[in-house]
Amino acid sequence: MIEAIANVLKIPDLRARIFFTLAMLGIYRLGIFIPAPGVDRVALGDFFANTQGTLLGLYDMFSGGALEQFSVFVLGIMPYISASIIMQLMQVVMPQIERLTKEGQTGRKKITQYTRYMTIGISVVQSMGIAISLEQMKTLGGTDVVIESGWAFRMMTVVTMTAGACFVMWLGEQITDRGIGNGASLIITCGIIAALPSGAMNTYQKVTIGEISLLGAVLLMAFMVGVIMAIVYVERGQRQVPIQYAKRVVGRRVYGGQQTHLPLKVNVSGVIPPIFASSVMMFPATIGTFYAHPLFDAISAAFMPGTWTYNLLYIGMIIFFAYFYTAVTFNPVDVADNLRRQGGYVPGLRPGRQTAEYLDRVLTRLTLGGSLYLSVVCILPTVLISSYGVPFYFGGTGLLIIVGVTLDTVAQIEGHLMTRHYDGVVGPGQGSAGGRRGTLGAQ
């Protein structure tokens, strides 16, 4: 490992990219502590003490604590992620957008521009929603969170939050272009990791006062290590579909004839299904936080993490979104047509429709296994949270994001090392992580 780090520092371009990435992430973390005006932060902190397990707690985790601080980076990178996902969905339902993806660099630039415009629109809507929600927030003692409500506060919040979201989007794009790793994924990961020290301290305090036994804390650490190992194992797992290329004679040379494989990831959809499912499932609890009503209170109690109704519906939502997102991002018909045009075929199958049906069957089975794996990883930590009061950022979604982004970043570093004839970070001949895709932003 020491030799691998030394090899990384020997390459000027790679060293500059890593330092640039760290500098951009440092700027993002500094911005988290720049307060936005108009809010009583003491009252806001008291309010957020009771939001664990709701959508606000999930969003605060993804923003690295910016929502609880009411920072100028409250929206973080999430509007850009949402805009990117919407653009990918539009590629399926709108032929005009799909044609842009096939126009090369020019088309990608237009899609990027549309994504930026959509990010601004989403930021305006979300910041207005946050402003209105803040005006309705009160602490248990009845103190208003907003110092002076009204349209002046709302417009000021919209301008501040939208500008902050655009700046974070720019940071993410700069990391992707000039740094190492996927910028959007690294920004989310940076926010989750920043919450780990306070979570560890909170757990230590629970052990000190006897709320969690020492044996329970040791078992918790062992469980987290086991979950991380399982995530690494499955995320790097692939189904290799054999591909044979026909021989072609051009002049006196013979081309093709080699045998390769088409790698299909076990978890094609990445961490997107748990994020979508968490947002949907946390919505009833969040509604109950804003509006006190017996019906909303009953719904919130039924959908709180740890209840059997929550767990069953959460698993169902994860499986649904896994199949939905896989269908959007991977088209077996297009893959089969590309193989046919390049002279490739799956041994024993005819090129075209038969190959597409085979790939669809394989992908359906892989998605089932991947969605069940995501469900287990996300549900088991939720049981720990509800049973033992473990901090929310120890949940499966956070671990999935951290491990997935780390694997992707290591894969990119290995790619730079391999092109310069150095051993990879995980050792010689162990560069299998290079087959990973970006966890959030690239999806």
Pair of tokens at residue 130: 């946050």
User: Strand pairing partners for 427?
Assistant: 424
Cα Rg, the chain, nearest whole Å = 24
| Distance from C-alpha of 178 to C-alpha of 19, rounded to nearest angstrom | 10
What digits encode the pLDDT tens for the residues 300-313?
666 666 677 777 88
> Among 281, 300, 280, 301, which Cα is nearest to 290's?
300
The more confidently predicted of residues 43 and 168 is: 168
Kindly list the strands in the beta sheet with 259-265, ordered across the sheet, starting from the edge strand earlier in the chain. Answer: 259-265, 238-245, 344-345
- Helices 78-93, 183-194: axis angle to 10 degrees equals 140
Instruction: Report phi then psi at 52, rounded to 5.
Output: -65, 130
User: Does the structure show a pLDDT above 70 at 296?
Assistant: no
User: Does the structure show a pLDDT above 80 at 179?
Assistant: yes
Check: CB of residue 51 under 8 Å from CB of residue 138: no
The per-residue pLDDT for 213 is 77
The per-residue pLDDT for 434 is 41
Continuous H helices in 179-331: 183-194, 196-208, 214-235, 272-290, 294-302, 308-329
Domains of the chain: residue spans and CATH: 1-195 (1.10.3370.10)
What digits encode the pLDDT tens for the residues 14-55?
888 889 999 999 999 888 888 888 877 777 766 666 555 455
Band (112; pLDDT cuts 50, 70, 90): confident
Q: Which residues lie closer than 8 Å to 392 by C-beta, 6 or more apart?
A: 52, 53, 57, 58, 61, 385
Range of 20-29, 203-212, 428-437 with top mean pLDDT: 20-29
What digits encode the pLDDT tens for the residues 225-282?
888 888 888 888 888 888 887 766 666 666 656 778 888 888 888 777 877 777 667 6
185 burial level (CB within 10 Å; 0-12, 13-18, 19+): buried
Give the pLDDT mean for 83-100. 79
Give the pLDDT mean for 164-172. 92
| Least trusted range by pLDDT, from 195-199, 262-266, 382-386 | 382-386
Check: CB of residue 72 under 8 Å from CB of residue 65: no
Residue tagged 């991977």 (tokens): 330
Pair of tokens at residue 194: 């920043």
Q: Which residues lie closer than 8 Å to 405 by C-beta, 6 or more apart?
A: 181, 182, 185, 186, 188, 189, 439, 440
**Alpha-carbon dihedral sign for residues 248, 251, 254, 256:** negative
| Least trusted range by pLDDT, from 86-90, 151-155, 322-326, 437-441 | 437-441
Give the pLDDT mean for 335-357. 85
Pair of tokens at residue 326: 């896989």
Write down the pTM of the prediction: 0.74
User: Does the structure show a pLDDT above 60 at 200?
Assistant: yes
What digits encode the pLDDT tens for the residues 392-411?
455 667 778 788 888 888 88
User: Does the structure show a pLDDT above 50 at 435?
Assistant: no
| Least trusted range by pLDDT, from 66-70, 209-213, 319-323, 346-350 | 66-70
The more confidently predicted of residues 328 and 112 is: 112
Give the pLDDT mean for 172-177. 90
